[in-house]
Amino acid sequence: MTDSAQPNLEYWNERLLVDQFPQRRAHRYITFDIDQGGLNNVRLVLEYVAVVAAITGRTLVLPPQRPWYLIDTEPVQPGHLSTTAIDDIFNVPALGQAIEVLAISEFVATARNHLDIPSRFCEPGFFGQSTLEQYVDWSNWLYENMEVPAWNPYNTLICYPDIESARSGPQMTEMYVDNRELVEFTPWLTAAPVLHFPSNNQLRTLGPVATMLAATDHVMPCIARRLIKHHVRYRQEIFELAEKIISEFDFGSFDAIHVGPVAESRLGMLGIQKVGDLARMDPRRIEELLGDWGLDVGRLARGEEYSEVEPYRDPRSYSEENTFGSDIADRQVLNSAIITHAESVARRLRADRFRARTVVLKLKLGQRTAPGPRGYPTLSRRVTLPEATDDGETISRSAIDLLARSGLDAPIRLLGVGVANIVRESPGQLSLFEPRERNARRERLNDALDEVTRRFGNEAVVRGERGGAERASLSTQIKRGERDESE
């Protein structure tokens, strides 16, 4: 290994992590609002602004305390709510090891003159016992007077050090960019004394933080993820409280730690009936009974998860499904739903430049056979195609054939269509099993459908025999390879 290569391979080293970021710039700050959603949303925002502060050499200003959703929900006294501060939940000293961090009172005392901060915010103790109204007053003043980039990981990709440099970097792929706007720190933003990231009815700083950054190489995005992993941490007291809750309450379903029915049965044979049972067990005993797998599941039961965030990897499958408003036995309605889902899956495959070799049909029967959420039997059927495809007609035809060959005549509660055995599309790939003319005609049709979809939305045009099917309630997020209808 050459001396010049070694530093790039040691980006995880803590000293190098801090050294890689720009030097702190005096009188340059990042301010942000506590998100209006739950704790996970608050953490996402903190991760995002911490990375922005690190790559710009700015000081991160912690917002004043305020009532947090699902935490401060009960009035402490008439006219007041309990409040929570960032450092009540997060380990601020750990964050301060990587970037400069200031409490709100220190920021106001330091910057009041050159930022013309109104005197009402400078009164002693203003932020110590601030009410929700005072918090909103401060937040609105920042929003109206400071520079607001209006960025978030869903819609924008930060290019470091600038767009032109990042274009040649490894993140600049169609799937990583995912139709997001490329943004950079322009001279105007760089010169601004304060960059503010709000959480209000117009803007929220939410999204996949692991893919917020593109650069000339892998190093800076990896360092940013390391900062998040090692320095945006909960306080030890939070873990102790979680451990106490687990020990005092008899937690139920193993679904929360992704243990399926077979593994759950295996645990039950050993007398482990609840997540709490597993969390309380001595790890040495778990290893003795269940080996390495048991140790992994035990860590999940105790809330310990140290795996790296994977910002992007090639997909293993694509799927769409829906739960019907009432159980359906009409084969025409079921076929129409299959066509709907097959077209959506195929469109996403083409957008990501993948093809699939296997078509999967998922069915949940309408007749309950056992109590609980798993009481409805779920069946799946699959077929491997002669060659990989990204064509909706091919996928729907295969799925409809699977339904016909299943022999089912019972009403269906849920229906899904998916594909697996994903392969990358090869330029100019031709079909071995269809005439070249038919293959070219189908590709032209798909290209036309995709163009109409890009311009007018996913439902702008459908095949003539297609009916409609709503997505299941848990599948309404914007998926890989799909256009965001809200834009």
Maximum distance among all Cα pairs of the chain, rounded to whole angstroms: 81
Question: What pLDDT is stored for residue 481 in this prediction?
Answer: 52
Tens of each residue's pLDDT in the chain, 487 residues: 344 444 443 334 444 455 667 777 889 999 999 998 888 899 999 999 999 999 999 999 999 998 888 888 655 555 556 889 999 999 999 999 999 999 999 999 999 999 999 999 998 888 876 678 888 999 999 999 999 998 999 889 999 999 999 999 888 887 788 778 999 999 999 999 999 999 987 788 888 888 899 999 888 888 888 899 889 999 988 877 876 766 665 555 555 566 667 777 778 888 887 777 777 788 888 888 878 878 888 887 776 765 555 555 567 889 998 888 788 999 999 999 999 999 989 988 888 889 999 999 999 988 877 765 567 788 899 999 999 999 999 999 999 999 999 888 889 989 999 999 899 876 545 455 555 555 667 777 777 777 766 665 555 455 555 444 544 333 334 455 555 444 4
Q: End-to-end CA distance of the chain, in Å?
A: 48
Q: C-alpha angle 200/201/202, rounded to 5°? A: 90
Question: What pLDDT is stored for residue 13 in this prediction?
Answer: 45
- Provide CB contacts within 8 A for 235, sequence distance 6+: 87, 88, 89, 90, 91
Distance (Å, whole) CA 134 – CA 136 = 5
- Token pair for residue 94? 């750990």
Residue 147 β-bridge partners = 195
Beta strand ranges found along 304-393 (DSSP E):
317-328, 354-365, 378-389
Distance (Å, whole) CA 26 – CA 36 = 30
The DSSP symbol for 478 reads: P
Whether omega for the bond prior to residue 153 falls within 30 degrees of 0, making it cis, is: no
Question: What pLDDT is stored for residue 461 in this prediction?
Answer: 54
Whether omega for the bond prior to residue 427 falls within 30 degrees of 0, making it cis, is: no
CATH class of 256-301: mainly alpha
Q: C-alpha angle 32/36/39, rounded to 5°? A: 90
Rg (CA), the chain: 27
Fold of 317-475: Dna Ligase; domain 1 (3.30.1490)
Q: C-alpha angle 137/69/126, rounded to 5°? A: 30
Question: What pLDDT is stored for residue 290 in this prediction?
Answer: 78
Domain ranges of the chain: 6-231, 256-301, 317-475
Check the CA dihedral 112-118-120-121 and report its sign.
negative
